[in-house]
């Protein structure tokens, strides 16, 4: 992307006035992100009608307060479907409040881990204390990113900065979430925490985050199920002395970049998931059609299997678009496959005509592209001007090996 921002180190600690650290001991971990000064906050949450206690609590806190100072999160237990879980969620915030000397009303929280089991409050309290002790010693983005990991294979962190005249605005984020399915983990819960030193109103931040999340986290598919704990927060503390209205476009682009990078890291993670699939749906009659069709592609279990086996099975792509409900004409659409890494690309279908027959140059090129670890599938429905991009991964468990080896 030829954007105006630069990628920098430091994740959530990159923007001015933010500190973070975390501590993890076996399953339970705690991450603390704090702002030196009052910050505004926006959040997006799972739309599942069944949701965890910390989601209820954070929604309430977000509604009742105007300024915030900290985000706390724990791994190890999702505090979902638990008796007395709301009390435990409040106790977690209270504990952090007393240590950080920040009112409970200014602390947002999130949880991820096993479901249906009561929070081990003694262990959790110990981890909050340890995370706090670490934070007193130093600000450490790495530890913050690691302490919220559950089945994640790698930590997820990204930050950017851009200039507005002489001044600099920074945005940084960390996330957790992985494609691996484990017993008692409800799903691959996505947590995303973003900090920025921009000066912005609560309402503006809410809009910017909602737009960014719709195009990033809400376009990411790991296993097709939707978690009860998904949470994304953005804290903005104004320390850059740059107001959002001076750089609306730049800020929104940078926030979208941060969100998209975190979402891509999430779908790229997980045992056996070795490939990122980017489904670009264009030429749709409506935005809804574009989203339905691109999501249908990255959700297709059969396509995920084909991608893993490096099989350029464009029929599965066409079929997934076909049953998505999006308006299409099977005699006039394109499918292009490209390697994000090398930039190589080829048509598989052009104006409804299959080009990648056996023995063709197109099929040979497609097979080469499929070996890449980052694959873009572009579908042009030629029905309108709307576009959407979704992110998914191959289905790379052992069963795929078995089924990939099966020969008809």
Which residues fall within 8 angstroms of residue 192, CB to CB, at 6 or more apart?
Answer: 173, 174, 175, 217, 231, 232, 233, 259, 262, 263
Residue (261 or 289) nearer to its own copies, CB = 289
Q: Are 280 and 294 within 8 A, CB to CB?
A: yes
Residue (165 or 183) nearer to its own copies, CB = 183
Residue (27 or 382) nearer to its own copies, CB = 27
Residue (9 or 225) nearer to its own copies, CB = 225
Closest CA to 260 of 193, 213, 191: 213
- Determine if residue 176 is labeled as part of a ligand binding site: yes
- Give the nearest distance from C-beta 51 to its own copies in angstroms: 7
Structure tokens at 301: 């279990």
Residue (8 or 310) nearer to its own copies, CB = 310
In whole angstroms, give the CA distance from residue 85 to residue 228.
14
- Give the nearest distance from C-beta 105 to its own copies in angstroms: 25
Instruction: Provide the CA 20 distance to its chain's centre, in angstroms.
Output: 20
Residue (185 or 232) nearer to its own copies, CB = 185
Q: How far apart are the first and last CA of the chain?
A: 42
- Give the nearest distance from C-beta 227 to its own copies in angstroms: 7
Q: Which of 46, 112, 151, 189 is catalytic?
A: 189
- Determine if residue 133 is labeled as part of a ligand binding site: no
Using CB under 8 A, list all residues that contact its own copies: 27, 46-51, 80-81, 83, 114-117, 151, 180-187, 223-228, 272, 299-302, 305-306, 309, 311, 313-316, 318-323, 326, 328, 330, 354, 357-358, 397-404, 406-408
Residue (184 or 373) nearer to its own copies, CB = 184
Q: Are 187 and 223 within 8 A, CB to CB?
A: yes
- Give the nearest distance from C-beta 365 to its own copies in angstroms: 17
- Give the nearest distance from C-beta 302 to its own copies in angstroms: 5
Q: Are 283 and 384 within 8 A, CB to CB?
A: yes
- Give the nearest distance from C-beta 56 to its own copies in angstroms: 10
- Determine if residue 241 is labeled as part of a ligand binding site: no
- Give the nearest distance from C-beta 376 to its own copies in angstroms: 21
- Determine if residue 228 is labeled as part of a ligand binding site: no
Structure tokens at 391: 């992110």
Structure tokens at 222: 């790991």
Is 189 assigned a catalytic role?
yes
Q: Could you give the residue numbers annotated as active site?
A: 189
Question: Binding site: what residues are annotated?
Answer: 150, 176, 189, 271, 403, 408
Question: Binding site for substrate: what residues are annotated?
Answer: 150, 176, 189, 271, 403, 408
């Amino acid at each position: 992307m030829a954007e105006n921002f630069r990628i920098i180190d430091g994740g959530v600690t990159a923007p001015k006035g933010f500190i973070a650290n975390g501590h993890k001991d076996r399953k339970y971990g705690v991450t603390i992100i704090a702002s030196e000064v009052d910050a505004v906050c926006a959040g997006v949450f799972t739309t599942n009608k069944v949701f965890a206690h910390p989601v209820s609590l954070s929604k309430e806190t977000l509604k009742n307060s105007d300024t915030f100072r900290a985000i706390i999160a724990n791994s190890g237990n999702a505090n979902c479907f638990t008796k007395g879980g709301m009390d435990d969620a409040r106790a977690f915030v209270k504990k952090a409040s007393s240590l950080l000397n920040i009112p409970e009303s200014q602390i947002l929280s999130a949880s991820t881990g096993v479901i249906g089991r009561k929070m081990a409050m003694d262990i959790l309290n110990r981890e909050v204390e340890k995370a706090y002790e670490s934070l007193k010693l130093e600000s450490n983005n790495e530890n913050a990113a690691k302490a919220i990991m559950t089945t994640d294979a790698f930590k997820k962190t990204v930050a950017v900065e851009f200039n507005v005249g002489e001044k600099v605005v920074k945005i940084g984020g960390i996330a957790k979430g992985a494609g691996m399915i484990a017993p008692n983990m409800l799903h691959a819960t996505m947590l995303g925490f973003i900090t920025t030193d921009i000066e912005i109103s609560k309402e503006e931040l809410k809009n910017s985050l909602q737009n960014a999340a719709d195009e990033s986290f809400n376009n990411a598919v790991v296993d097709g199920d939707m978690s009860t704990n998904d949470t994304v927060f953005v804290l903005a503390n104004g320390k850059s002395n740059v107001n959002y209205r001076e750089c609306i476009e730049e800020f929104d682009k940078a926030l979208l970049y941060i969100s998209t990078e975190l979402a891509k890291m999430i779908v790229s993670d997980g045992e056996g998931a070795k490939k990122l699939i980017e489904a670009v749906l264009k030429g749709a009659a409506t935005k809804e059609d574009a989203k339905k069709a691109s999501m249908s592609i990255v959700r297709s279990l059969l396509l995920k299997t084909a991608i893993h086996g490096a099989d350029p099975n464009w029929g599965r792509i066409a079929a997934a678009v076909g049953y998505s409900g999006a308006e299409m004409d099977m005699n006039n659409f394109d499918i292009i496959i490209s390697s994000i890494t090398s930039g190589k690309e080829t048509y598989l279908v052009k104006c409804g005509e299959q080009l990648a027959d056996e023995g063709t140059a197109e099929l040979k090129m497609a097979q080469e592209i499929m070996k890449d670890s980052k694959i873009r599938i572009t579908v042009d429905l030629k029905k309108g001007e709307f576009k959407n991009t979704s992110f998914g991964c191959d289905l790379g468990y052992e069963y795929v090996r078995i089924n990939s080896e099966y020969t008809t």
